[in-house]
Amino acid sequence: MQTWLVNTAGYLRRLGLPHLLNEPVTAEGLRALHAAHVEKVPYEALEIWLGRPTTVDPAESAARILRGRGGYCYHLNGAFSELLRALGYDVTRHVGGVQKRGGDPGVNANHLVLTVRGLPSAANPGGEWLVDAGLGDALHEPLPLVAGTYRQGPFQYALRPSEVAPGGWRFEHDPSGSFEGMDFDPAPTDMSAFIDMHRHLTTSPTSGYVQIATIQRRDASGVDNLRGLTLSRLGTGVHTVTLDTAVDYYAALADVFLLPLDDASAEEKDKLWRRLYDAHETWLSGGIA
């Protein structure tokens, strides 16, 4: 008898899709799950700023998501892959590499990628899909794993064969996005491939997650970004505001990102705010943060 790593019914309730528990596996079901995941489960790494170590264990990530939190790629795609598997989807994990703007492409395990196969549709007769709930400001829905350009809301993406991962794929982000692109290897992998990079990303002073507390939430018409204390909405235009008080900051977490941070005590929230404020002041003065 198969034992699943996630509370499938609870996870679907978190996504607002409890009716999918006993539904057949379909391309439309995959689309609904992906869209709900990026809309309701924020991309965030506040555990670093709260001083709480995490692992890449999908069961741990899923339990945190069920408590109302989010995560970054290892957490989001790791947990999501277990949910999909429990529902009957043929899902595979891959080692990927996100390329910063101006950086060099590569597959360095700084990203976990998912593909799902066996779901043909009118738009994708081959039935293989790129599934990625962990790219922050990128995909709202799965992409057919077919070379071409794809529009989702105000953003345009592209897929093509990778030049750095033979047999793999290259995802090109919209020019307005937070990174340039992402390559991934075609071979299946397990979560152990990401342990060392996870340690680096959550502890190194050079890590972007350590330097800036970033939170993102995608929806059909755009993306909300919170970098430090700067909140912006990117869609048909860019709208930006600075959150000057702890009250404003935690209200934005709850209202914009569906992240009430109920699992943090008042003392933890006060300490987090002071860290964020100090980092913002350092950034204003020209420092690293």
**Domain segments of the chain: what residues?**
203-284
- pLDDT means over runs of 10, the chain (289 residues): 75 97 95 98 97 97 97 98 97 97 94 98 95 97 98 97 97 96 98 98 96 96 96 89 96 97 96 94 70
pLDDT, residue 287, reads 60
pTM of the model: 0.95
Task: Tell me which H or E stretch contains 47.
Answer: helix 46-49
Q: Which CATH architecture has domain 203-284?
A: 2-Layer Sandwich (3.30)
CA distance 92 to 102: 30
Cβ atoms of 202 and 210 within 8 Å: the answer is yes
Residues 6+ apart with CB under 8 A from 80: 33, 37, 114, 131, 133, 134
Write out the E strands in the chain: 43-44, 90-99, 111-117, 129-131, 143-144, 148-152, 155-161, 169-172, 181-184, 214-219, 222-227, 230-234, 238-242
124: amino acid identity, one letter: N
CA distance 9 to 216: 25
pLDDT, residue 236, reads 78
Residue 112: strand pairing partners: 95
Cβ atoms of 82 and 12 within 8 Å: the answer is no
pLDDT, residue 1, reads 37
